[in-house]
Amino acid sequence: MKRYSKVCLGGTFDQIHLGHKSLLEMAFSLSDNVIIGLTTNKRANKNRNKEYLHTYQDRYSSLEDYLLGSFKGKYSIVELDDDWGPGIFDKDLEAIIVSEETEKVAFELNKNRKLRDLEELKIVTIPLILAKDNKKISSTRIRNNEIDINGNKA
């Protein structure tokens, strides 16, 4: 039996890399019901300096292909246009899966859940996944041809 009945996580998932895989593996190891917030085009491009990102639909398709080939369990991919997504209102959620880099967002989410008289989510934080050069793996670094999706030098 899984530890939580329903968990959530979120991201841009522009290039599915080891960091994304680690988040998803943790989510599906803890629950058979995973809600994945996928940032909208508008949200994904916020605070980015003209980086080329795949469209929401392309990112959705890539994420879904990966999920179908990798995990059993119920999941849904929902549009994420803010920091909270369904985490702010879904009373059935029990935990949120985040990286060390995004943990502060989960603390803020819990503050907002309390204001709505909802239970705080258990925050499950996974460590950042480092590339072979000991810097974090990111879609930006992959797009810039610094590393590949496995963290190897490109």
Mean residue pLDDT across the chain = 94
Quick one: tokens of 152?
A: 């190897």
pTM equals 0.93
pLDDT the model gives residue 147: 96
pLDDT in the model for residue 22: 97
Mean pLDDT, contiguous 10-residue spans, the chain (154 residues): 94 95 97 97 82 92 97 96 92 97 96 97 96 94 94 90
C-beta of residue 23 within 8 angstroms of C-beta of residue 70 = no
Dist. CA 83–CA 93, nearest whole Å: 16
